[in-house]
């Protein structure tokens, strides 16, 4: 075991370029002495659970806010603020979960965590005044979507507190991943008295930020560090192995690398590629994620609105080559929904197989043939393809690779519009583009989460794609009951049957019994023929990716980072979360 590096403030690194030449400095990573220094990313946009969207932001919150459940290392639901729960069904057949809160669950000021704290927080997420981009996460709760859309009152949300202090949650359908979903910070409780006293700034007020998790916020130096200390009111004081955690808020790759090499940071995600390539196997960590990076084609655009054209553009892209160039742990996508998601009996992706064609060296010729079939004998006659993206390094690299292949192999004219975030969001709204990037990282193993955003007017659907068939398949696979497939017209058969006489006579009792048996057998046969929810999701994915070609998957996300050998007992999850609640640095 390597010797433990004492944690100390890093000194400024001065790089001399030569005698008399200008000096170049690297800003040191802001570490804290006697703390476990961890780097997951830069300054969070928010610590309000209604708005935290990045995995780094959500990881911060998981240390200071505790939902009803937490997750085991294998992403199985475990007791959190709720010590137990039961599932039943109401008179309408809807699922009802009853959560018994841990009587020792408290806020950091000593007040008890109550069902009302959850009810208030969830209604706030769904409120139009809040305008949370994560409101859709709560939609499995009865009437949640209607409340978010303003067609129902907040009091009609399917949540209530029982007389014995339990939290009762009624769902609109039997959502198989609901318990896992509850681990997300967007489901965390909040204190109404604290939030209402400072609606705009409560989440920035470190002194008053209400924490019910294993840690509380000690200090937040913006763009430098977020320092946490163990919560003395937490119901399980043995959960925290280290008194102080310090999340280094830095996007300076070189500064983070220097701090890691000196032992000041024991876990680092933002690093130069060379640093990762030279790291030893004992420190380099690779984790496949439940996320997919895709291209999304704008509906109705001249030329590029044709699925044949989209198919041609897809088949010339070498996804293996792209993933190799990225060198960030990502792998070539075979479909929209990645491996690791739940299938009928095993892995959804293994059951569904690849949905993307591979033609190897003949891909360009096959693509040109498809373009001819679509009416474009000369691809250069197609309108200039407008590729819209925001200007971060990853997205511009992908755009340059994709457009470069289309230009080289098909002679396509392309224009990359790489904009700042606000301008990018505005451009998406205006819709003057042919293709844009789409990145989705799921917090759950439910395959339906990758499809739900593409329904008509869905959360991810910035392209105007709309298919009633797709919407029905997703509703059947992800929503309430399995949808019955359209039945064949049997009117003529029924007419012939009604005019025919029975070959043998029978008594009325026998006729009734025979009819009941026939009806039962018919119902059983119909149930066997109906596709399962997972099968409906396979059909929906095939429609979106293979038939309509509205979404063209490129790669499945992965991540690479460095963790020092002496760092013990930390968790990483396939949704990108990192937990250090029980982590510590081993000496010796």
Please state, in angstroms and rounded to a whole number, the distance separating the CA atoms of residues 142 and 156.
Answer: 8
Topology alike, domains 68-196 and 290-481+533-558: no
Domain 1-65+213-283+564-588 falls in which CATH fold?
D-Maltodextrin-Binding Protein; domain 2 (3.40.190)
- Quick one: pLDDT at residue 504? 35
Q: Which two tokens stand for residue 369?
A: 């043939």
- Quick one: pLDDT at residue 517? 55
Q: At residue 1, does pLDDT exceed 80?
A: no
- Quick one: pLDDT at residue 533? 87
Residues, the chain, total? 588
Q: Which two tokens stand for residue 233?
A: 């009111």
Q: At residue 511, does pLDDT exceed 60?
A: no
Pairing of the two strands 578-579 and 385-390: unpaired
Q: Where exactly are the structural domains of the chain?
A: 1-65+213-283+564-588, 68-196, 290-481+533-558
Pairing of the two strands 24-26 and 36-41: unpaired
Torsion of CA 303, 305, 306, 308, to 10 degrees: 90
DSSP string for residues in 239-270: G-SSSEEEEEE---HHHHHHHHHTTS-SEESS
- Quick one: pLDDT at residue 370? 95
- Quick one: pLDDT at residue 415? 97
Q: Looking at domain 290-481+533-558, what is its CATH homologous superfamily? A: Dipeptide-binding Protein; Domain 3 (3.10.105.10)
DSSP string for residues in 519-553: HHHHHHHHHHHSPPHHHHHHHHHHIIIIIS--EEE
- Quick one: pLDDT at residue 395? 92
- Identify which has the larger pLDDT, 503 or 127: 127
Please state, in angstroms and rounded to a whole number, the distance separating the CA atoms of residues 196 and 450.
Answer: 35
DSSP string for residues in 350-378: HHH---S---GGGHHHHHHHHHHHTT-SS
Three-state SS at 407: helix
Digit-coded pLDDT (tens) for 108-160: 999 999 999 999 999 999 999 999 989 988 999 999 999 999 999 999 999 99
Instruction: State CA 390 to chain mean position distance.
Output: 19
Cβ burial, residue 584 (10 Å; 0-12/13-18/19+): middle
Nearest alpha-carbon partner for 102 in 120, 124, 72, 79: 79
Q: Please state the rounded mean pLDDT for residues 167-172.
A: 97
- Quick one: pLDDT at residue 8? 25
Structurally, at CATH architecture level, domain 68-196 sits in: Alpha-Beta Complex (3.90)
The phi, psi pair for 487, rounded to 5°, reads -85, 150
- Quick one: pLDDT at residue 24? 41
């Amino acid at each position: 075991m390597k010797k433990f590096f004492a944690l100390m403030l890093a000194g400024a690194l001065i790089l001399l370029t030569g005698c008399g030449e200008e000096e170049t400095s690297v800003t040191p990573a802001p570490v804290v002495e006697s703390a476990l220094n961890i780097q997951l990313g830069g300054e969070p946009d928010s610590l309000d659970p209604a708005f935290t969207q990045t995995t780094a932001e959500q990881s911060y919150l998981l240390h200071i806010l505790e939902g009803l459940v937490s997750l085991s290392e294998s992403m199985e639901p475990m007791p959190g603020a709720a010590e137990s729960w039961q599932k039943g069904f109401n008179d309408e057949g809807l699922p009802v979960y009853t959560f018994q809160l841990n009587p020792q669950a408290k806020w950091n000021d000593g007040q008890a965590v109550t069902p009302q704290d959850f009810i208030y927080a969830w209604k706030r997420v769904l409120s139009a005044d809040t305008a949370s981009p994560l409101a859709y996460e709560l939609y499995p709760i009865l009437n949640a979507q209607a409340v978010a859309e303003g067609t129902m009152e907040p009091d009609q949300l399917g949540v209530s507190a029982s007389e014995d202090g339990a939290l009762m949650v009624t769902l609109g359908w039997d959502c198989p991943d609901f318990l896992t979903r509850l681990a997300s910070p967007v489901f965390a409780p909040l204190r109404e008295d604290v939030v209402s006293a400072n609606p705009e700034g409560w989440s920035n007020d470190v002194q008053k930020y209400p924490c019910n998790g294993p840690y509380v916020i000690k200090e937040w130096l913006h763009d430098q560090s977020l320092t946490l200390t163990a919560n003395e009111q937490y119901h399980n004081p043995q959960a925290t192995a280290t008194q102080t955690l310090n999340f280094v808020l830095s996007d300076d790759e070189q500064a983070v690398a220097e701090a890691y090499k000196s032992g000041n940071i024991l876990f680092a995600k933002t690093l130069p590629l060379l640093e990762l390539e030279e790291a030893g196997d004992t420190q380099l960590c690779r984790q496949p994620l439940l996320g997919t990076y895709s291209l999304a084609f704008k509906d109705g655009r001249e030329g590029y609105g044709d699925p044949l054209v989209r198919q041609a553009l897809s088949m010339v892209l070498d996804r293996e080559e792209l993933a190799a160039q990225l060198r960030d742990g990502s792998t070539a996508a075979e479909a929209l929904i990645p491996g690791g998601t739940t299938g009928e009996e095993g892995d959804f992706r293994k059951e569904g197989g690849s949905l993307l064609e591979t033609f190897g060296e003949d891909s360009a010729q096959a693509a040109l043939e498809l373009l001819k079939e679509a009416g474009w004998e000369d691809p250069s006659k197609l309108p200039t393809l407008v590729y819209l993206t925001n200007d971060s390094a990853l997205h511009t690299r992908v755009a340059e690779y994709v457009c470069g292949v289309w230009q080289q192999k098909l002679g396509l004219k392309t224009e990359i519009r790489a904009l700042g975030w606000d301008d990018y969001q505005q451009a998406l709204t205006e819709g003057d583009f042919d293709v844009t990037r789409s990145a989705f990282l799921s917090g759950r193993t439910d395959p339906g989460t990758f499809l739900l955003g593409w329904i008509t007017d869905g959360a991810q659907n910035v392209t105007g794609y709309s298919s009633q068939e797709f919407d029905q398949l997703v509703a059947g696979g992800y929503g309430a009951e399995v949808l019955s497939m359209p039945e064949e017209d049997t009117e003529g058969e029924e007419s012939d049957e009604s005019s025919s006489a029975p070959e043998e006579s029978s008594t009325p009792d026998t006729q009734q019994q025979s009819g009941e048996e026939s009806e039962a057998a018919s119902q059983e046969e119909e149930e066997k023929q109906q596709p399962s929810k997972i099968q409906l999701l396979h059909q929906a994915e095939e429609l979106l990716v293979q038939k309509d070609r509205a979404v063209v998957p490129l790669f499945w996300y992965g991540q690479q980072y460095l963790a020092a050998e002496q760092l013990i007992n930390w968790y990483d999850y396939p949704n990108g979360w990192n937990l250090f609640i029980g982590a510590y640095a081993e000496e010796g």
